[in-house]
Structure 1
């Protein structure tokens, strides 16, 4: 199945011959004796990234690293000046195929990361982590393990959360939730619904995209949060997939507290307009919205905003689990400077995140004062930062954590389309939940079988 995945994804994009020698002919992919002997000499490492200067403050960040490690120079290669992750990954693949020097690689999503690990482009870093004496899951909020190895350290930390129109909550006599379940979320949505606005808005699924909204309850768990499990079997018959369908139907059809799916599709609605236009009181979305919480010139803020954590499934459950986006910072498998490359990614994903000051770090070592300063800096870039309940934002970002990574399958887009199709039949009243699960499971299993 792995061979099929590689051939499907990389058929003509990457020439495997360009990656021959990545693993050093069977030698350890971590630092060699020759490399160790060179550590006292000045070295230059190439850092390939999708991030542009405006979004990542590279000039100041890299200068700070080089001040602390004067024998390591970082040669920054920005793969897309507009921050286009698709363009960046294509250019990175071409650089690998042509044998260019690669040392530090940044991936923007689990799929890009897992696929390049499977190809052999990325070196395991377990030996360096062990040498540094920390446990990755204690040190960082994002678990980057694939199979039995670590191939990356996580940079920024963008968990999903619930945006709240606090003015609507106040009018309804509701407190800002600090720990809640999906049942309570539905109660809030129902209580917030008025003639002027809906209680909540879900931005997906749409055309096989925004599938996070098809696994609401699944994503509240530590493991098995995808439609296909880590062992390659279907997860459609999970009670939590059923629960997600039940919640979507109840909120839209029974309670009429959620914006109708037909409106979302026919009117091409967007979560920004729905929230800032006060058409929905609660919007579940990723914390990339931190930079817009206080409003922007395009979407001015005319009400108070608060943030609530991603709901959990049951009262008393651990909670805090949520979909998370991060930057996966990796060492290239064919790098001749693996120790220096690791030194850079370790620094960058810890104190370097504070220097950069652009994002919330995945690193657990950040102090509450530093976190507050970073958030102050982010909110200061908005039009009305004083309208944001900073305390609720800090609490959510402190407690959120990611689920275990399940490497994406090569046929993921096919699965998404099938699940989207069957959901539409459900929400448009053409079939009930039992029929939806039966049909979805049958079609998903056919796709899995055809890709064995």
Structure 2
């Protein structure tokens, strides 16, 4: 919690820096998208002949899970532009480290954003170059209509580079032994029943990575609206109550999923637990593949199947799921080598990122070789996956998707309240009332 208060102070400094940057006249945030007007001098200044441009790209994926192979391939063919990959952990502390680096003028030329809330703050702080200054790449045409979900005020401050998939990974052998089919669509009530049937002794039937933990809540509010018709907070929506009740019952009554307190204090290694066969269902994203393909560190003797994340809504037509496009890569507005960064970013998006597929990150560009990327994703471990279900969650599921766009302050606020409920220090009604009240206060103050 101390870090959060320091982060709030840093955010104030960051925003102040952004205001000063905007006053300096160096930005181009007022240029119409695609106009090319207002290109910064740093973007257009040519490098002296013979000079080697050195770029630093910050991202949250471990270097050995694809990024190092990407930059090695680029560096081999582009001696005039050399890229170094810098890893930051995609959590509160890691994102703070990246923001601090940009605020203090450390070397950051390109950086990967994993949520809309993070990119929105960085745009507000003046850290991100608006891309209409570069007119030789049509993001909408390359990435398709889902790319528009990453626009801010109608403009692109980066390129979404991957097809983002979230799913429930399943121990297929355990499902077969319990005579349970691999679902193509299901509800949280049905997942709860699966967890009961798959629970064995003291072992849990279902575990979650903390990153997509709250996705069901955003799934509801992305569809129904974060506010009601009268403008008041919708945090007390009946399906938000349903999510809280269901998960709490799985923790306290069924004992089929870890209590949140246990998961937070132990920093539970959920991927390791799933891949060791100790828990048969895991809610996670496509980054699971970088571990499940690694038999050296995570040996397993079972086949993995995949199911969509379950819905809270009874009617499948009323459901949206997290997904679409992700890994939104931006260029630092203060970089002295924006043109070189742009050349690398185009190459990366159109297929240079292929080694990332081994970690579950499929390229979004229509010009990338999707079949080759898929084969790279499963590597020589193809027979350890249920290919039909993997293809379904990655390519064939037509459920509409959303990108989490709620402000980070709201993400933090509601987490503080639902954690109290799951830890037993606050009732369900108190939790819903507190979330709603604090959201209303946030909107009023904003």
1:189–1:257 contact (8 Å) kept in structure 2 = yes
CA distance in 2, matches of 1:438, 1:411: 14
TM-score between both structures, scaled by the size of structure 1: 0.74
Match of 1:391 in 2: 388
Q: Closer, same or farther in 2 for the Cα pair 1:361/1:276, shift >3 Å?
A: closer
Match of 1:345 in 2: 345
Q: Closer, same or farther in 2 for the Cα pair 1:191/1:44, shift >3 Å?
A: same
Trace 1:54-73 onto structure 2 (pairs within 5 A).
Answer: 54-58=64-68, 61=71, 63-64=73-74, 67=77, 73=80
CA distance in 2, matches of 1:33, 1:266: 49
Q: Closer, same or farther in 2 for the Cα pair 1:73/1:93, shift >3 Å?
A: farther
Structure 2 gaps, min length 5? 1-6
Q: Closer, same or farther in 2 for the Cα pair 1:66/1:113, shift >3 Å?
A: farther
Displacement, 1:118? 0.6
Report SS of the residue matched to 1:168. Answer: helix
Match of 1:48 in 2: 56
1:310–1:320 contact (8 Å) kept in structure 2 = no
Match of 2:375 in 1: 373
Q: Closer, same or farther in 2 for the Cα pair 1:33/1:441, shift >3 Å?
A: closer
After superposition, what is the alpha-carbon deviation per residue over 1:7-46, rounded to whole angstroms, capped at 9, x for unaligned?
Answer: 844344687257744315977665479977969x899765
Structure 1 gaps, min length 5? 1-5, 204-209
Match of 2:4 in 1: none
Q: Does 1:441 align with 2:436?
A: yes
Q: Closer, same or farther in 2 for the Cα pair 1:58/1:14, shift >3 Å?
A: farther
Q: Closer, same or farther in 2 for the Cα pair 1:397/1:330, shift >3 Å?
A: same
CA distance in 1, matches of 2:386, 2:154: 41
- Total equivalences in the alignment: 426
Displacement, 1:265? 6.1
CA distance in 1, matches of 2:86, 2:231: 33
CA distance in 2, matches of 1:123, 1:136: 20
Match of 1:90 in 2: 97
TM-score between both structures, scaled by the size of structure 2: 0.74
Q: Closer, same or farther in 2 for the Cα pair 1:318/1:14, shift >3 Å?
A: closer
1:294–1:388 contact (8 Å) kept in structure 2 = no
After superposition, what is the alpha-carbon deviation per residue over 1:369-420, rounded to whole angstroms, capped at 9, x for unaligned?
Answer: 223222133x65xxxx643323322321224675134152446534422231
Match of 1:207 in 2: none
Match of 2:3 in 1: none
1:156–1:353 contact (8 Å) kept in structure 2 = no
